[in-house]
Chains A and B, each alone.
Chain A
Amino acid sequence: MKILVAVKRVVDYNVKVRPKADGSGVETANVKMSMNPFDEIAIEEAVRLQEAGKAQEIVAVSLGVSQCQDTLRTALAMGADRAILVETDQELQPLAVAKLLKAVAEREQPDLIIVGKQAIDDDSNQTGQMLSALLGWSQGTFACRVEVGDGTLQVGREVDGGIQTVTLKMPTVVTADLRLNEPRYVKLPNIMKAKKKPLDKLTPEELGVDITPRLKLVKAVEPPSRKAGIKVADAAELVNKLKNEAQVI
Chain B
Amino acid sequence: MSVLVLAEHDNAELREATLNAVTAAAQLSDDIHVLVAGSGCAQAADAASKVAGVTKVWLSDDPAYAHQLAENLAPVMVDLASGYSHLLAAANATGKNVMPRVAALLDVAQVSDVIAIESDDTFVRPIYAGNVIATVQTIDPIKVVTVRTTAFEPAAPEGGAASIEALPGAGDMGFSTFVGEDLTKSDRPELVSADIVVSGGRGMGNGENFALLEDVADKLGAAVGASRAAVDAGFVPNNYQVGQTGKVVAPQLYIAVGISGAIQHLAGMKDSKVIVAINKDEEAPIFQVADYGIVGDLFQVIPELSAELDKI
Which residues does A use to contact B, with CB under 8 Å?
Answer: 11, 16-19, 26, 93-95, 98, 118, 120-134, 137-142, 144, 154, 157-169, 177-179, 214-223, 226, 228-236, 238-239, 241-243, 246, 248-249
Binding-face segment, B20-28, B29-37, B283-291:
B283-291
Nearest B-chain residue to A243, judged by Cβ = B312
Nearest A-chain residue to B222, judged by Cβ = A249
Instruction: Report the contact-size class of chain B (Cβ under 8 Å from the partner).
Output: 35 or more
Residues of chain B within 8 A of A11, CB atoms compared: 128
Most chain A CB within 10 A, of B100, B107, B184, B247, is at B100
Selected contact of A222 from candidates B133, B253, B296, CB within 8 Å: B133
Q: Is the CB of B301 within 8 A of A178?
A: no
15 sample A-B contacts, Cβ–Cβ < 8 Å, listed by A number: A123-B113, A123-B128, A128-B100, A129-B97, A137-B175, A164-B181, A165-B178, A218-B122, A220-B134, A221-B132, A226-B288, A228-B287, A231-B293, A235-B308, A238-B294
Judged by a CB distance under 8 angstroms, whether B292 is at the interface is: yes
What is the minimal beta-carbon distance from B224 to any residue of chain A, in angstroms? Answer: 14
Q: Is the CB of B292 within 8 A of A229?
A: yes
Contact residues of B: prevailing secondary structure: mixed
Nearest A-chain residue to B138, judged by Cβ = A215
What is the minimal beta-carbon distance from A242 to any residue of chain B, in angstroms? Answer: 7
- Please name 19 further chain A to chain B contacts, defined as beta carbons within 8 Å, in addition to the given A131-B104, A162-B184, A165-B179, sorted by A numbering: A17-B132, A120-B129, A121-B127, A127-B100, A129-B100, A133-B101, A142-B93, A158-B238, A164-B67, A165-B181, A166-B69, A179-B238, A214-B140, A218-B136, A219-B134, A232-B292, A235-B307, A239-B311, A242-B253
Nearest A-chain residue to B254, judged by Cβ = A248
- A214 and B252 in contact, given A162-B239, A166-B176, A234-B294 (Cβ under 8 angstroms): no
Nearest A-chain residue to B263, judged by Cβ = A16
Q: Is the CB of A130 within 8 A of B179?
A: no
When A and B form their complex, which 10 residue pairs have the shortest distance between CB atoms, in order from nearest? Answer: A129-B100, A130-B104, A214-B109, A229-B291, A138-B175, A235-B304, A162-B183, A126-B100, A133-B104, A235-B305
Contact residues of A: prevailing secondary structure: mixed
A137 vs B71: C-alpha distance when bound (angstroms): 8
Binding-face segment, B162-170, B205-213, B268-276:
B268-276
Which of chain B's residues 153-173 have a Cβ closer than 8 Å to chain A? Answer: none
Residues of chain B within 8 A of A127, CB atoms compared: 100
Q: Is the CB of B179 within 8 A of A123?
A: no
Judged by a CB distance under 8 angstroms, whether B126 is at the interface is: yes
Selected contact of A18 from candidates B132, B288, B292, CB within 8 Å: B132
- A221 and B127 in contact, given A130-B101, A133-B104, A215-B109 (Cβ under 8 angstroms): no
- A17 and B184 in contact, given A138-B175, A142-B93 (Cβ under 8 angstroms): no
Selected contact of B290 from candidates A134, A167, A229, CB within 8 Å: A229
Residues of chain B within 8 A of A177, CB atoms compared: 245
Q: Is the CB of B175 within 8 A of A215?
A: no
What is the minimal beta-carbon distance from A174 to any residue of chain B, in angstroms? Answer: 12
Which residues does B use to contact A, with CB under 8 Å?
Answer: 67, 69-71, 74, 92-94, 96-105, 107-113, 122, 126-140, 174-184, 192, 196, 220, 228, 231-232, 237-239, 244-245, 247, 252-253, 263, 270, 273-276, 287-296, 301, 304-305, 307-309, 311-312
A217 vs B183: C-alpha distance when bound (angstroms): 39
Residues of chain A within 8 A of B69, CB atoms compared: 166
